[in-house]
Structure 1
């Protein structure tokens, strides 16, 4: 097999092989280096006019095959630098070389005095442009020598000075090899070019580029290297031939930018020069390997840590084989550990720790002092665990470090920043006691510092990390604790401790603690403290974009309906401060996104319009060149969300068009994605239009089509399908249930075929179950329940039944036409839920809602045993609550359902017992058991259906007056409704008491009075009037009945359309007459 790497340009736009090629190619090269140099024939490096290539090929025996052509047809990194014909000519075959004497005599070389002066300046200047002038002068020399005619004095000896400057074995071997076939070359000729410039001068300039921050620094360094090789290829002479320092310096230029690909390319050149061209001075050394590791450490490439570790292994192998005097050291290992730490891989902590243990084993067992772990090493491993919130792992490393220190390793001494990393680990963990544990660590630092066991006490970073730990916690007191710590810092800082000077990050973390709780007042107070601190001279406390973003976040989470308006004010303040130069940065995409998100979550009717206007303002600024306001998919989706929440389908479609146009015009960050289409479907589901389910399903099919054509990165997922299912489930279409089920079955089919992001979850199943529940179709619901359980038991953990699952099934039984079976089956489901929870099959047991649903099922059944069964379940709930299960504490719905069971059976005695139980529970502190309007109405209904005809109407009217009084005092949120009034009237009407007609009429007139005074809730309806008519009819009072009929007709004529005379009205009058 062989590998080929190519690039067409350097610096700004390289076209390289896939990123994984370079680390793997590099490792193969490193392994190949273990082979001794004399047997290294076969590694080729060529640059030609037509198709310059840089290729490496490996035969089965490990040799290199120079005959393999470049298969990708692109120019190599190195050959692309030979842009002029002269340079290309210099890179071709050097069988015919002129003498250096001829080159110098052909024309006076440029003045080298300036070059010397510029090179001297390099060591004194830190400017990124420092090497530019020296490079210009070098290029003049390069151009001069490369312009010499190559057709003369082809057989001059190019290595005559073999004995003039270096008598080492390596140099002698090199010169001996180069002298063959060129006997006429003189030492004086070599000296003449050496006085002009040499490898040391070139390397100094390359070294300056490697330290430069200039964006073209790697390209410039590589250009010098390439031209050095070109001069050598043309004239020979080791004084201009690149050595290991030269190559390593160029690699360092790429390493500084984390460019593994560029560094690998240069390393490939180095290997080729060493093994194929016998340039033994270019042999990679330990520093070369370390520089390559440094490239990995600074790289953002996915496989960087794996590559770094393989380079480390190769370095160790080479050193063990005696091919390198110097092997790995503490810095080398620490760099690889740091590479893992920053990578974000889940296995990073384990890999970092394994490397640490290797160091400890070599240091303690083998006595290798070079790899003794130091504070940086331990801190990197600790940080690897801290980033993942793995407190246990971090503490184990911490103990290892302390043991290492106690055993004599002074470099492993605990210091403040290590404690800070441990606090960070707690902050990142999900441990409920994280803030308290972090505070213990801070106190430990303070104690150690006070005893002199730590050279430094905690600094602002330590305190800031602790504040952040509190900010991320769920504790109610978190904001106040964060603020207390901040104020403690401020107090110590004002007393002269400069290390505790709060900065914008510290203030931001404290504000974030308030923001996470939606406490805008607290966040603004901390912001004011920050501004005062800044105005008093603390320049580190200057507000920035992040601070304003945190303030905005507080408003977003506050739940205040005016939050979007307040966030807009903050945005305008930022714009103003930026225009005045007070803020270094103006509002960016994140800030605008926060504002749009605030509007999207708002219930204000103008939310969709405002979100869209802000988006359009962003687009305008972006098109004018402000790249900080480039709208991305998140921004567009937030605007879509604003439209979707209010069912604004037209607005959603308009935003979709804006997004697509923006993407088509070149903004690749605005690419429509899964969430985009899901929001569009959601807009239809909320729009309330009859065609919503069909339109949602069309969008779902469009998503599948786009994915199959490669225009959507991911196929429609569980959420997309579930929204469409829910849309069908809530529709009034007869086919809604079947369509919901069909989509569920298509999801199951795709999931079983390997589309993992399409597997149904509990929410999906709940939507389909709800479709059946709305129609009271218990048979269909049970079929879905079976499918769900089969899916769960076959390995789909997302289909695990939840509390809501059982609640929907129980509710479906209560709505079914199987009234005799429903309460019994509902109670079976309740028991099944309890059993499954105890076995761990479901995560949550039944709560008050589930128990109440079963009670309601019994209440509606009409079975004789209903009241008793309902009460038994209520008492079971009270019993569980007394044993500590807060979730099953009965509420007003529970009590009302039990009351209803007694009321339906006319059992006033049992109803009154439940009424007393409910009131006692409320008075004992259960605020959720407070009687409400339905509670009173149910009890009145119980009186109405009881056999106590004499007491019933009077007791019912007492309850009515009690409701009116409680409402007047504010102890009952609402007054009695027309249903309550009508129930009391009906109670009087059914009694045989002589005063019944008049009492019924009095209540009716009271209702009319309240209604005419603006209380719509008590407007009499046909049922009300008919109940009063019935009271007169039962006692044969025709005159009274006629008067009530006229009142009813007048009320209707006055605009009360609810008081229409119906057939029952006339039937009652006929009975009266």
Structure 2
């Protein structure tokens, strides 16, 4: 208590000192300057003190320009770290933009401040983004990324030929590390290229990349969600680092580290590329044996990553490979007792999964043996819930739920490791799949045991059964929806036998209804509707714990919408109307219609091929919102669904309706969050692609141009994607105009210049453009342009990845162009194309074979 009063008194004194310093108009004396520095440092260490610290720091910057005192640059970092701490904790009211604006005056006093502090700001923003994303909140992300700013600085220093303007490698490494959460690996790699360009031309040592630079960029690629390029880019960076290391006389700063190889293995593992992972692991093993290079040492962590790759798609040979790796690891440890050779917990988890998923009949038995031997092997590791869970899953897959249940009960009774929800779920599902009275009883007993275990954990409310049902509700398997419903009925049986904690509630029913809404079975909507009626009947008979909510009805509406059945639209509308009637009759606030239920109904009518009905519901939704129901505010999703419904319909005037809805979105965008995005334009362009109008291609081009304009004006949601370009190209080709090949090729070049590409769309775009040339009127150059496009795609695929190399359809279109060329060159070109296909392992189908044969048939002379 005494210390608390002293702290409060000290804080009060600091506030008074701060006020006195901030109100000073004359230049600080030496004494005042030191007092200001002490006060600033005190506030930077105080939680919630960042706002006063930035004010004092700005005052110091102002005073520095007036007097003889010098400001220490490290104080700027302390202020930034103070703000970052408070910002992440939610204590500071200063946003990223406001904090950056407050620092503007300080930048003039300390020119290098921006680069040093930017990494701290963006790192804090990334952490806050992660927190708020998990809470479902919105986060304002800066307009310009840190890496873009860094690239601009490097470019400026190159133009001015001034090394003092150029950031050093430590600052750039910090910027790349801080930007990992923003998914910008291409931008980071571009910065790396600029660094090497400057170093190679001007020999500025301060900007030369090092192994940390490569490590951060490789991490960025491993973390990216764009899996089509991840492994290729990481491998290329590793090879580049090794090459630069040899070119710079094996400089230590460019020495590949073990972590670089681990990142490459991780990339292969995530992409499921077992062949490349195997090759890299073998290379490390052989090279370490020959050279004893420490970076190539296949330690326990390296083995764990390799086994993780094996566990992604194990076959019957995978357990043998894994067993050899583990055996060699243990032997090396026994030889020299080096702790680097000790296994990791993750390695054991992957080792068990390899046996379980390999398809071998003894898989579960071997996984059990690994679990039993863990504590006696090198490292003396104690199994955790991941290891027990893997073995439980193995026994369930082997259709031996009794063995799995014995492990669960062992954990409940005799160990500190307690089974989690997934362990219970696996066993309950295994017993339920047997569909016998004895199996059902065993499943019910497990539910009771789960409740008892949860009751001993000190939680106020029992949620374990609900958690199981929520896990099942996220599955798309019809069997899991059935199990979710079975759990409700088993809970009811146990409730009537006296287990009051197993009473079913609205949340349980909603979880089961959600499971049916994600199921792909034909009878899913009937089952969902029957379960809803059961819930309503029990509520009407006095069970107030089963009060229906909007989610209950929305799940059934969604279920009908996804069914693709002829009566889906009408049945979904009936459920929606029933919800509104019950709300009005029983005055249930829980049945307030929101955007979720309107969206589900619009989707149902759209999938049923009834765009006019979808548009009617959209109008009702908009009117409901205007009448005061703020929860019914229309969003982009419902507008896009309605546009998609019109675009896919065969009704006359559909193109006009699509355009009218887009214009309505633009009008609403001035007042609400509804405005066209790239999904809107993609859907509209796709409708033009299917249209029979003579000017459909012009309409498609206008939508693409509009999206490009909005993106250039700062609307990031309108960035054109592969689908947009692909649909425009196909619309142009379908239009069949004389300039179609040239226009298609123009958009194709724009498409492949993008950093994010969909391989399927690229294949279709090249095929369509080549087809356009094949059927064009420019007979003299058709084949040449088709072959040139084939060469372009081959070069592009070599650079961007195998999935972008020409496929059978592209070769077929080139062959069609050849078949229409002059007879004297036709056979020769067809032969050359056939050889190219064989070299690239492209095998012709029946149509392709017929075209090939036609190329070798000469016209008879009359």
TM-score by length of 2: 0.51
Of the candidates 79, 96, 103, which is equivalent to residue 228 of structure 1? Answer: 103
Matching residue of 2:610: 705
Is residue 618–residue 630 contact of structure 1 (8 Å, CA) maintained in 2? no
Matching residue of 1:359: 241
Q: Report 1:902-913 matches (<5 A).
A: none
Q: Which has the higher helix share?
A: 2
CA distance in 1, matches of 2:330, 2:84: 43
Matching residue of 2:395: 514
Matching residue of 2:79: 205
Structure 1 pair 417–453 and aligned structure 2 pair: CA distance change class (3 A): same
CA distance in 2, matches of 1:310, 1:202: 29
Is residue 647–residue 683 contact of structure 1 (8 Å, CA) maintained in 2? no
SS in 1 for 2:393: helix
Is residue 115–residue 138 contact of structure 1 (8 Å, CA) maintained in 2? no
Matching residue of 2:366: 481
Deviations 1:486-521 (A, max 9, x none): 1111455xxxx6642100111011111012234210
Is residue 222–residue 250 contact of structure 1 (8 Å, CA) maintained in 2? no
Residue 588 of structure 1 and its aligned partner are, at CA, apart by: 8.1
Matching residue of 1:132: 47
Is residue 316–residue 358 contact of structure 2 (8 Å, CA) maintained in 1? yes
Residue 282 of structure 1 and its aligned partner are, at CA, apart by: 7.1
CA distance in 2, matches of 1:699, 1:221: 42
Residue 662 of structure 1 and its aligned partner are, at CA, apart by: 3.2
Structure 1 pair 630–104 and aligned structure 2 pair: CA distance change class (3 A): farther
Is 1:116 aligned to residue 21 of structure 2?
A: no
Is residue 472–residue 481 contact of structure 2 (8 Å, CA) maintained in 1? no
Matching residue of 1:340: 221
Is 1:524 aligned to residue 398 of structure 2?
A: no
CA distance in 1, matches of 2:129, 2:432: 39
Of the candidates 56, 69, 72, which is equivalent to residue 141 of structure 1? Answer: 56
CA distance in 1, matches of 2:484, 2:451: 26
**Where does the alignment leave 5 or more consecutive residues of structure 1 unmatched?**
1-99, 123-129, 147-157, 162-186, 536-540, 623-628, 686-697, 717-748, 757-793, 796-838, 842-1073
CA distance in 2, matches of 1:490, 1:354: 40
Residue 586 of structure 1 and its aligned partner are, at CA, apart by: 4.3
Structure 1 pair 646–200 and aligned structure 2 pair: CA distance change class (3 A): closer
Is residue 515–residue 557 contact of structure 1 (8 Å, CA) maintained in 2? no
CA distance in 1, matches of 2:380, 2:482: 46
CA distance in 2, matches of 1:751, 1:607: 48
CA distance in 1, matches of 2:100, 2:514: 46
Matching residue of 1:409: 293
Matching residue of 2:563: 677
Deviations 1:60-99 (A, max 9, x none): xxxxxxxxxxxxxxxxxxxxxxxxxxxxxxxxxxxxxxxx
SS in 2 for 1:542: coil
Is residue 305–residue 339 contact of structure 1 (8 Å, CA) maintained in 2? yes
Residue 362 of structure 1 and its aligned partner are, at CA, apart by: 1.1
Is 1:103 aligned to residue 18 of structure 2?
A: no
Is residue 206–residue 250 contact of structure 1 (8 Å, CA) maintained in 2? yes
Matching residue of 1:662: 550
Matching residue of 1:644: 524
Residue 227 of structure 1 and its aligned partner are, at CA, apart by: 1.8
Structure 1 pair 503–305 and aligned structure 2 pair: CA distance change class (3 A): same
Deviations 1:634-661 (A, max 9, x none): 5351589696397686557899999997
CA distance in 2, matches of 1:239, 1:670: 62
Structure 1 pair 257–464 and aligned structure 2 pair: CA distance change class (3 A): same
CA distance in 1, matches of 2:484, 2:348: 44
**Where does the alignment leave 5 or more consecutive residues of structure 2 unmatched?**
1-21, 131-139, 496-501, 538-545, 572-602, 616-636, 646-685, 692-722, 727-807, 810-843, 847-862
Residue 472 of structure 1 and its aligned partner are, at CA, apart by: 1.9
CA distance in 2, matches of 1:316, 1:575: 62
CA distance in 1, matches of 2:687, 2:435: 40
Is 1:316 aligned to residue 191 of structure 2?
A: no
Matching residue of 1:291: 174
Structure 1 pair 396–216 and aligned structure 2 pair: CA distance change class (3 A): farther
Of the candidates 458, 469, 487, which is equivalent to residue 592 of structure 1? Answer: 469
Matching residue of 2:423: 547
Matching residue of 1:250: 121
Residue 547 of structure 1 and its aligned partner are, at CA, apart by: 2.7
Structure 1 pair 673–298 and aligned structure 2 pair: CA distance change class (3 A): farther
CA distance in 1, matches of 2:286, 2:401: 47
Structure 1 pair 102–508 and aligned structure 2 pair: CA distance change class (3 A): closer
Structure 1 pair 469–476 and aligned structure 2 pair: CA distance change class (3 A): same
CA distance in 1, matches of 2:206, 2:269: 37
Structure 1 pair 221–638 and aligned structure 2 pair: CA distance change class (3 A): closer
Matching residue of 1:380: 263
CA distance in 2, matches of 1:365, 1:244: 30
Residue 268 of structure 1 and its aligned partner are, at CA, apart by: 6.5
Residue 333 of structure 1 and its aligned partner are, at CA, apart by: 1.0
Residue 397 of structure 1 and its aligned partner are, at CA, apart by: 1.3
Deviations 1:156-188 (A, max 9, x none): xx99x8xxxxxxxxxxxxxxxxxxxxxxxxx7x
CA distance in 2, matches of 1:562, 1:637: 29
SS in 2 for 1:501: coil
Of the candidates 438, 461, 467, which is equivalent to residue 346 of structure 2? Answer: 461
Is residue 605–residue 614 contact of structure 2 (8 Å, CA) maintained in 1? no
Matching residue of 2:274: 391
Structure 1 pair 407–521 and aligned structure 2 pair: CA distance change class (3 A): same
CA distance in 2, matches of 1:605, 1:386: 33
Of the candidates 52, 67, 70, which is equivalent to residue 190 of structure 1? Answer: 67
CA distance in 2, matches of 1:502, 1:428: 22
CA distance in 2, matches of 1:270, 1:388: 30
TM-score by length of 1: 0.42
Residue 294 of structure 1 and its aligned partner are, at CA, apart by: 1.6
CA distance in 2, matches of 1:569, 1:501: 29
Is residue 612–residue 639 contact of structure 1 (8 Å, CA) maintained in 2? no
Structure 1 pair 699–563 and aligned structure 2 pair: CA distance change class (3 A): farther
Residue 478 of structure 1 and its aligned partner are, at CA, apart by: 1.5
